[in-house]
């Protein structure tokens, strides 16, 4: 097991830029606005011949009791406790500030091996922080520029000295931990996504509070489940575009959508205490449009009375029937993330819809189903002619996509008949909780033009 390094420092010294540079990814949000990072984020980092776990943390600030800043400091303190090495980071252009002194003193209390990192030091003549950093008592600094990729050889030397001195395991680059499936948690702000995330992983990895929009960037955590490894992703809440307050919130939403694009399954979280609004439907629509399998979790179920529960069930059924017909058969779990009620059912449901999302159906079974389906409900007339369905094949999985070939024009085929076919297909092959896609193509040869999606219908 490789060692852990926590990047510590006041806001806006470039901790997330260092995290992105060493992990080779752009998982941490970067912006000129200070205090962007709130949760601790972990990633596999590589420096020279060493590999280690790197932890990005919230900017350390003095915080009053009961504030969001206090919760951020709790997460930062946990990162320091978990780490084997600290990267005490300052802004080289600004030099050492009183706040740097305050938190350097805090880091020293943990008595952990520490590397003094002076970031934004691409021009040493304009970097007063290099000399001033000696005042903090962590020895010779490693001047770097995370933005420009400068000085990382010096950082390697400082870290290598600590690794050798303390016998840490980091000489051989380790392979990234393989995950079988990625599941992201989505929903509006304050529906309990982070509480649900923490409940599933079994520890407080994401900050939870009553403040709307607490989570800003996506938090990734690997969970072992029935012999496999799942990567669970907590994401920022999505609000209506008109209500997004600033560019930082837009970055957070963009990060959420990126997590959805790479996910296999999306857990859509609803708040039982506030009902369902247009934004919930919009988010669910985004999940389906992206072609992801979906599980619906109605959170805070314990906080509603029997009448409210009955009303919510009726409203949900109505929305699934008329507004989100493709999600009509999605698994729905009524849970309490805070109390842990029914949380154990969520990953089970996610794995079920993942199996369906990833499935392939033989051509023989598909054509047997198609024959029975059109005998049960004869296709309508199109331009005075009966549409003849000749052949069906599965074009791809993830999500299951099917091509039906016809011998006549398909322009007159009503959407209602396609819905009938899709619903029948769902029922026959148990494709619940996933968007099933069907496109039609007029051809005499069922194998001709397989890449041509003319006449695509969903």
Contact 27, 217 (CB under 8 A): yes
Q: Could you give the residue range(s) of every CATH 3.30.300.20 domain in the chain?
A: 363-457
Domain 4-166 has CATH 3.30.530.20: no
Q: Quick one: 14 exposed, middle or buried, by C-beta within 10 A (0-12, 13-18, 19+)? A: buried
Q: Looking at residue 68, what is its pLDDT?
A: 55
Residue burial 107-139, b: 16+ Cβ < 10 Å; e: rest: beeeebbbbbbbbbbbeeeebebbebbeebebe
Q: How many CB atoms lie within 10 A of CB 160?
A: 17
Q: What six digits make up the tokens of 78? A: 């946990």
Q: Looking at residue 5, what is its pLDDT?
A: 95
Q: How many CB atoms lie within 10 A of CB 262?
A: 12
Strands 181-186 and 142-143: unpaired
Q: Give dist(CA 120, CA 93) in Å, integer.
A: 6
* Residues contacting residue 274 through CB under 8 Å, at least 6 positions apart: none
Contact 414, 387 (CB under 8 A): no
Q: Phi, psi at residue 8, to the nearest 5°?
A: -120, 145
Radius of gyration in angstroms for the set of CA atoms belonging to the chain, rounded to a whole number: 27
Task: Report helix, strand or coil for 265.
Answer: strand
Q: Looking at residue 323, what is its pLDDT?
A: 83
For the full predicted model, state whether its pTM sits above 0.85: no
Strand partners for 406: 389, 442
Q: Looking at residue 124, what is its pLDDT?
A: 77
Contact 355, 429 (CB under 8 A): no
The residue among 4, 3, 61 whose CA lies nearest residue 37 is: 61
Write out residues in the chain with pLDDT < 70, as ranges: 1, 26-39, 59-71, 170-179, 205-217, 240-251, 382-384, 408-412, 443-458
Q: Give dist(CA 207, CA 188) in Å, integer.
A: 16
- For tokens 């915080």, the residue is 63
Q: Is the dihedral of CA 248, 251, 257, 262 positive or negative?
A: negative
Q: Looking at residue 451, what is its pLDDT?
A: 45
Q: What's the CATH code, domain 363-457?
A: 3.30.300.20
Q: Could you give the residue range(s) of every CATH 3.40.50.300 domain in the chain?
A: 4-166, 181-357
Q: Looking at residue 32, what is its pLDDT?
A: 45
Q: Looking at residue 454, what is its pLDDT?
A: 37
Q: Looking at domain 181-357, which of 3.40.50.300, 3.40.50.10860, 3.30.1490.20, 3.40.50.720 is its CATH number?
A: 3.40.50.300
């Amino acid at each position: 097991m490789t060692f852990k390094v926590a990047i510590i420092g006041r806001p806006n010294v470039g901790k997330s830029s260092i995290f992105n540079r060493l992990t080779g990814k752009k998982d941490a949000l970067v912006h000129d606005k200070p205090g962007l990072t709130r949760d601790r984020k972990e990633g596999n980092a590589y420096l020279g011949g060493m590999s280690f776990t790197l932890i990005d943390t919230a900017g350390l600030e003095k915080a009053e009791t009961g504030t969001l800043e206090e919760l951020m400091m709790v997460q930062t303190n946990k990162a320091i406790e978990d780490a084997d090495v600290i990267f005490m980071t300052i802004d080289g252009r600004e030099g050492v500030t009183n706040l740097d002194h305050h938190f350097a003193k805090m880091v020293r209390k943990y008595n952990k091996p520490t590397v003094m990192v002076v970031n934004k030091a691409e021009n040493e003549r304009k970097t007063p922080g290099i000399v001033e950093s000696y005042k903090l008592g962590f020895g010779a600094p490693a001047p770097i520029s995370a933005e420009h990729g400068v000085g990382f050889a010096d950082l390697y030397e400082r870290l290598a000295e600590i690794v050798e001195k303390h016998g840490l395991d980091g000489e051989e680059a380790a392979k990234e931990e393989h995950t079988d499936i990625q599941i992201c948690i989505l929903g509006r702000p304050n529906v309990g996504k982070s509480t649900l995330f923490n409940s599933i992983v079994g520890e407080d990895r994401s900050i939870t509070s009553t403040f709307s929009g607490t989570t800003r960037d996506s938090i990734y955590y690997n969970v072992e489940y029935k012999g496999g490894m799942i990567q669970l992703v907590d994401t920022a809440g999505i609000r209506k575009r008109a209500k997004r307050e600033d560019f930082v919130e837009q970055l957070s939403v963009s990060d959420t959508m990126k997590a959805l694009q790479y996910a296999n399954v999306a857990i859509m979280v609803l708040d039982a205490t506030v009902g369902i609004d247009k934004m919930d439907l919009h988010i669910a629509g985004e999940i389906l449009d992206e072609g992801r399998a979906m599980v619906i979790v109605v959170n805070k179920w314990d906080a509603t009375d029997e009448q409210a529960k009955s009303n919510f069930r009726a409203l949900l059924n109505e929305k699934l029937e008329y507004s989100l017909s493709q999600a009509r058969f999605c698994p729905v779990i009524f849970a309490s993330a805070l109390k842990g009620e029914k949380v154990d059912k969520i990953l089970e449901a996610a794995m079920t819809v993942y199996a369906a999302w990833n499935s392939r159906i033989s051509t023989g079974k598909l054509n047997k189903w198609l024959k029975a389906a059109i005998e049960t409900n004869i296709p309508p007339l199109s331009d005075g002619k009966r549409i003849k369905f000749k052949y069906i094949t599965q074009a791809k999985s993830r999500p299951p996509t099917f091509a039906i070939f016809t011998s006549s024009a398909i322009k007159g085929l009503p959407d209602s008949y396609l819905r009938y076919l899709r619903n029948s297909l769902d029922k026959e092959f148990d494709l619940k909780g996933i968007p099933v896609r069907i496109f039609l193509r007029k051809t005499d040869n069922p194998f001709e033009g397989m890449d041509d999606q003319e006449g695509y219908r969903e």
